[in-house]
Structure 1
Amino acid sequence: MTDQPTPARIPLIPTTLVALAVLVMIGLGIWQLQRRAEKEQALALMANNANLPAIAFPKLGADLDHYRFRRSSLVCLDTQFVEMVAGKARNGRTGYRAIMACRTGAEGPGAYVDIGVSPSPSLPEWQGGAVRGVITLKPTSQSIWNRMTGGAVVDEPLLIADAPAQGRLATSPPNIADIPNNHLAYAVQWFLFAGVAIIIYILALRRRNASKPA
């Protein structure tokens, strides 16, 4: 009587966990493909915004794709310094952008204003007033992981002033070419992660079964 080879056994719990992880990765890849199409529509909308008339400055929570690149104006009643971020002036020089929070009404801060670029991170001396400019987004830091997984980031509108504060250079206006559409790359990465996870698990199963006595 010949010995029959022992059939390979697949552990239930680890296999289930790996399968669920792979499904999540594939789902995230599909979601990124959908986001790519949405981003293309948003970019087309924003490209058209630059040709539209000026509008009232949007409030926090508005659908900012409908406002970005539109011209706007506001009256800054009083100010509070927020932050310095690296940036570029309209003439191409680099430096530090000064972003201020402005109170535009009786209910506290209502807008952020970029009042220009300086070569050093000196605190601005700007007391507010009437501001005209172009609407963009307030700079924010977001990790690659958050971008790949769609982590929640609250976008806030920012008005880049046409006329900078005294002693500063006008900040370079936003350019639609600078807005990335990386969703296809993120989708490919998720699909690759799923494929690599499957290959690693198959190899681990083969090693596990080969190490068992016949």
Structure 2
Amino acid sequence: MPDPAPRTRHRLPVLATAVVLAAVAMMVWLGFWQIRRLHEKEALLARFAEARAQIAEVDWPAQWPTDPDKGYELTYRRAQLMCSAVTERSSMAGHNAAGESGMAQTARCALPGGGFALVVMGWSQSPMAGTAWQGGEVHGMIAPGQRLVADPPLAGLQPNALPDPADLPNNHLSYAIQWFAFAAMALAIYALALRKRWEKG
């Protein structure tokens, strides 16, 4: 009677194969999802660039829109507001218009009709500079994170670097390539494992 081993030696393990194929399918899906996110991010960056190019100012809203799409319409637009009073001051790491590192000086402003706005007054190499400014009219550009970067700067500070959508990361293509590479590697490793198993018989 012939040995049945030659007919069964190359049989695929059902459970292991199903697990590997499911993992590969998930990686491929994630790769295509990142490509879709790439197109969405490119469209958003183009929208931001168009907003930044507009010269006309908008009024800072008394309340920031809860709808993200409405918020995107304001981001990178030039805007104005009236700071009735400074309720809080802080400083954070930032760059001036020349690209030098230092401290961006910020003020939390109460608005006449209620609500608050975070104003980046300007730039200094010293923390907590520009404390003499107590409020007034502010013109500038809306940055991500609902901040108004003053332009011109306030309180005798140096100009802070204006927000630029070109500085936003867009790594979705590299992420997509990584997921596709992981899927290919998983298939290759599994194929090698099967080959070793079949060679052992």
TM-score norm. by structure 1 comes to 0.74
Give me the whole-angstrom Cα distance separating, in 2, the residues matched to 1:21 and 1:82: 47
Partner AA of 1:19 in structure 2: L
Greater radius of gyration (CA):
2
Give the aligned partner of residue 96 of structure 1. 103
Please state if 1:44 is matched with 2:46.
yes
Partner AA of 2:178 in structure 1: Q
Give me the whole-angstrom Cα distance separating, in 2, the residues matched to 1:23 and 1:124: 56
Give the aligned partner of residue 151 of structure 2. 162
| 3-state DSSP of counterpart to 1:172 | coil
Long gaps (5+) in structure 2: none
Cα shift at 1:202: 2.0
Give the aligned partner of residue 186 of structure 1. 175
Give me the whole-angstrom Cα distance separating, in 2, the residues matched to 1:208 and 1:16: 17
Give the aligned partner of residue 141 of structure 1. none
Moved over 6 A (4+): none
Cα shift at 1:2: 4.3
Give the aligned partner of residue 113 of structure 1. 119
* CA shift in 2, pair 1:11/1:35, >3 Å: same
- 1:84-138 CA distance string (max 9 Å, x none): 12x2212343212234433336765x3222122221344662544332100111x
* CA shift in 2, pair 1:44/1:17, >3 Å: same
Give me the whole-angstrom Cα distance separating, in 2, the residues matched to 1:19 and 1:83: 51
Work out whether residues 133 and 161 of structure 1, in 8 Å CA contact, stay in contact via their aligned partners in 2: yes
Which residue of 81, 84, 89 maps to 1:74? 81
Give me the whole-angstrom Cα distance separating, in 2, the residues matched to 1:209 and 1:83: 65
* CA shift in 2, pair 1:132/1:192, >3 Å: same
Give me the whole-angstrom Cα distance separating, in 1, the residues matched to 2:141 and 2:125: 22
Cα shift at 1:52: 4.7
**Which protein has the bigger helix share?**
2
Partner AA of 2:109 in structure 1: C
Please state if 1:195 is matched with 2:184.
yes
Work out whether residues 79 and 127 of structure 1, in 8 Å CA contact, stay in contact via their aligned partners in 2: no
Partner AA of 2:194 in structure 1: L
* 1:112-131 paired onto structure 2 within 5 Å: 112-122=118-128, 125=131, 126-131=133-138
Long gaps (5+) in structure 1: 138-155
Give the aligned partner of residue 32 of structure 1. 34
Work out whether residues 160 and 171 of structure 1, in 8 Å CA contact, stay in contact via their aligned partners in 2: yes
* CA shift in 2, pair 1:128/1:8, >3 Å: farther
Work out whether residues 95 and 120 of structure 1, in 8 Å CA contact, stay in contact via their aligned partners in 2: yes
| 3-state DSSP of counterpart to 1:174 | coil
Partner AA of 2:125 in structure 1: P
Cα shift at 1:56: 2.3
* CA shift in 2, pair 1:158/1:8, >3 Å: same
| 3-state DSSP of counterpart to 2:111 | strand
> Over aligned residue pairs, what C-alpha RMSD do you find?
2.7
* CA shift in 2, pair 1:38/1:209, >3 Å: same
Give me the whole-angstrom Cα distance separating, in 2, the residues matched to 1:106 and 1:93: 36
Give me the whole-angstrom Cα distance separating, in 1, the residues matched to 2:197 and 2:89: 61
